[in-house]
Copies of this chain bind each other. A is one copy, B any other.
Amino acid sequence: MFKIIAKDKNTKARSGELTTPHGVLKTPLFFPVATQASVKTLSNEDIKECGTQAILSNTYHLYLRPGVDILKKAGGLHKFMGWTRPILTDSGGYQVFSLAALMKVREEGVEFQSHIDGSRHFLSPEDVVELQLQFGSDIIMPLDECVHYPAEKDYARASLKLTSEWAERSKERFTVYGSRFADRKQQPLLFGIAQGATYLDLRKEAVERLVDIDFDGYAVGGVSVGEPDELVSEITQYALGLFPEEYPHYIMGVGTPVDIFDAVSFGADMFDCVMPTRNGRNGTAFTKRGKLILRNSIYTDDFQVIEEGCGCLSCKCGYNRAYIRHLINSSEILGLRLVSLHNVYFYVKLMRDIREAIETGVFSEFREEFLRNYR
């Protein structure tokens, strides 16, 4: 299912291939975020043009809207949205805990009110796995509780206990359904999410428990939730070091290009983050020489494309900074789209370049050069 293709000689960076029902993913890999079945402002054609291998969507959001019935009638999420490549769905645990109102966590699962219309819902870990199976997701994430920073150790320990039990129940339900897939290649992957807040001993316990249960891949959850940068890096490195090497490693919700280089060097294979699209909608563009805040008045009469030599549609078609700034200042949607397009391309291209650097044995040199220019 996961094959390591190349390993870096100086770090734990590696490249690999992860086989999913909708195709093989080359890692390290970035998933643009399509929370509500759309990578914000972009069409499928736009994101394919960026070289995107796979996208991430969200169970909590899809469950509330359009709802699983519509997705089933459509023949699954892929057919509903017309996306033919792999989709990873997050369980929506994070969203239940951050967006939903009147949330109550019980051992059985989580009770909450919809942030859209206030309707009451209950989801068990089993429900969350079944929903994702019905969506036709390629990579399924179990329900977990994402602990915010800072968290008391007692709370973090209790939360981890629950998350671990949910992980086990998720695997059980997934296994029951596994037999439905006549062809093993059509069976989605189920990942385990290691929580544990900022406590290394809890992180260790979390991973050991997950490895016992046995998942198709392992994810670090609950980082970048408000803790200082050094802690993010320390926990990421520590947790990744505990994951079994021959399985794919996923860092959820991370991050900046700098974070990505760090995590790759610690052995991470998969990333998702709203940063390229959220920044795009704020008019902030990623370039090899750092971020450009295109609302800034210095771009008023700057008629260069966002980044010379960039292969994204915005730069290839010649849209200039002054025009994009004008569009953003004038609340013209095209401006948000052009910067989002550029940023998604930037992230996808960065991952491709990292992969190539690992495979040609020059990851450290590439990283150093990139970071020197970027900072």
Hey, which bits of chain A sit against chain B, CB under 8 A? 36-38, 40-45, 65-66, 69-70, 73-74, 79-82, 300-301, 303, 313, 317-320, 322-323, 326-327, 329-330, 332-338
Contact = CB atoms under 8 A, between A and B. Distances in A.
Given A65-B330, A322-B70, A323-B80, A317 B45 contact: yes
7 contacts: A36-B326, A36-B332, A38-B334, A69-B301, A70-B300, A79-B303, A337-B337
| Pairs A-B, 6 closest by C-beta atoms | A38-B332, A36-B330, A66-B326, A41-B333, A38-B334, A73-B301
A251 to B, nearest CB: 26
A49 B338 CA distance: 17
Nearest to A65: B330
B37 A317 contact: no
**Most B-side CB within 10 Å, residue of A42, A80, A333:** A333
Given A74-B303, A322-B80, A333 B66 contact: no
Contacts of A73: 301, 303
Contacts of A303: 73-74, 79-80
A334 B47 CA distance: 12
B333 A333 contact: yes
Given A80-B326, A337-B337, 12 more contacts: A37-B326, A37-B332, A38-B327, A40-B333, A44-B317, A45-B313, A66-B322, A73-B301, A80-B303, A80-B323, A81-B323, A333-B337
B74 A320 contact: yes
**Most B-side CB within 10 Å, residue of A66, A74, A303:** A66
A184 B44 CA distance: 45
B40 A82 contact: no
A318 to B, nearest CB: 5
A66 B43 CA distance: 28
A338 B37 CA distance: 14
A172 B80 CA distance: 59
A330 B39 CA distance: 12
A333 B336 contact: yes
Contacts of A82: 317-320, 323
Contacts of A338: 43
B332 A43 contact: no
Given A41-B334, A334-B41, A338-B43, A70 B329 contact: no
Nearest to A330: B36
Nearest to A69: B301
Contacts of A66: 300, 322, 326
Contacts of A79: 303
Contact of A74 (B322, B329, B337): B322
Contacts of A41: 333-334
Given A80-B322, A333-B333, A317 B65 contact: no
A333 B36 CA distance: 11
A43 B41 CA distance: 12
B301 A65 contact: no
A95 to B, nearest CB: 14
A40 B329 CA distance: 14
A313 B49 CA distance: 15
A37 B324 CA distance: 11
Contacts of A44: 317
A154 to B, nearest CB: 39
Contacts of A80: 303, 320, 322-323, 326
